[in-house]
Amino acid sequence: MRLTRYLTALALAATFAPQPAEAQRRIPEPQIPPPSITEYTPRSTLVVPAHPVPRAKFPVVDMHGHPPTLDNPENIRTVLVAMDELNIGVMIQTRGSSGERLTNQIEAVRAAGQTDRFAFFTTLDLRDVGPGSGAQIAAQLEADVAAGAVGIGEIGKGFGLGTMKADGTRLTLDDPELKIVWETAGRLGIPVFIHTGDPAEFFEPLDMENERWLEQSIYPNRQLNDRARFPSFDALMAERDRLIANNPGTTWIIAHLSWYGADLGRLGELFDRYPNTVAEMGAVLYDLGRQPRFAREFFEKYSDRLLFGKDSFQPAEYPYYWRVFETNDEYFDYYRDYHAFWKLYGMGLNDDVLRKIYAQNAVNVIPGLPTAALGN
């Protein structure tokens, strides 16, 4: 009896053991010419309840806003109309403006009487860093914060991937010349919003197993697998981690969930290791929506560490986020086919978590954020 059970278990283990990749993909040869990856767009025959969410359940802070430049009443009004429809209480302009480009926007928003609805991050000029650059950048930062900026960012992915120093070498994320800048941010009590790298698959060979093949074929300049030009994904993240570790008195807002959306456990380790970090979830909805149960568990566990941000300002795309976060809907479309060839599922987050990721966490880590438009 015991032996039979053992043999049955062995047989089952063999049946379900992972097969080599080659064997897994072996399918019978199509007898009619197969369509290309762009041609094949099967319609879903699944009929299930659907609950679109055009308006977020609670007021939202979009902490990764890339609206048009807000230096004139027309742009401000256009963005406000969309914000009101979507229930975005506050939009943080993270387009990266400093000096006059920043103050022009702050003044225009003030003149329009909309200081409760917009906040501004400043950016850093990281080109040609050399001896003395850090102090200069820190001085500009002080001026921008005095003018009304409430954070730094978005620091773009060029920092780490392409930005060069005056001496012609790559500016590493943990370059000591910049330490004074991060310390200044810490002293001023403003967070640093930093985008490092890109999806890990962009760093891998573009072969038939690359999950982001389509996007990289449409935009070949997104490929980062040339190790002569770019560090590996892991090396870049290690550099970023040293930056965070070296500056424990600075609050870091990690953009795009650190591109760990497909490996939330790794993001959890980052949070556990560095209490001075939170993460923003822009443009990675496709990863959350394909693992709604584990993502919900993760969002519940780290509910104080996650901030809503959208990145690209496309009003029609925000409701996809609300639907993934707020409903238990199944198998619905994502808005950008070349990011993800799969469907999304709702995470069904509870109100407590929703309130935190939509606004409360942003209020906590961005002391200068206006809050009057975030009441219910």
Which residues make up the interface to Zn ion (CB under 5 A)?
154, 311
**Nearer to Zn ion among residue 92 and residue 243 (C-beta):** 92
Q: How far is the CB of 6 from Zn ion (least distance, A)?
A: 56
Let me know: does 59 contact 375? Beta carbons within 8 Å: yes
Cα 240 from Cα 229, distance rounded (Å): 18
**Nearer to Zn ion among residue 154 and residue 175 (C-beta):** 154
Q: How far is the CB of 178 from Zn ion (least distance, A)?
A: 20
Let me know: does 64 contact 311? Beta carbons within 8 Å: yes
Q: How far is the CB of 64 from Zn ion (least distance, A)?
A: 5
**Nearer to Zn ion among residue 196 and residue 303 (C-beta):** 196
Q: How far is the CB of 366 from Zn ion (least distance, A)?
A: 16
Buried b (16+ CB within 10 A) or exposed e, 264-276: beebeebbeebeb
**Nearer to Zn ion among residue 254 and residue 353 (C-beta):** 254
Q: How far is the CB of 351 from Zn ion (least distance, A)?
A: 28
Which residue has the CB atom at the shortest distance from Zn ion? 154
Q: Angle of helix 133-147 relative to helix 99-111, nearest 10 degrees?
A: 10
3-state secondary structure of 95: strand
Q: How far is the CB of 121 from Zn ion (least distance, A)?
A: 10
**Nearer to Zn ion among residue 311 and residue 326 (C-beta):** 311
SS3 content of the chain, % helix, strand, coil (to 5): 45, 10, 45
**Nearer to Zn ion among residue 154 and residue 241 (C-beta):** 154
Cβ neighbours of residue 162 under 8 Å, at least 6 residues apart? Answer: 170
CB neighbour class for 351 (10 Å; exposed up to 12, middle 13-18, buried from 19): exposed
Cα 150 from Cα 284, distance rounded (Å): 25
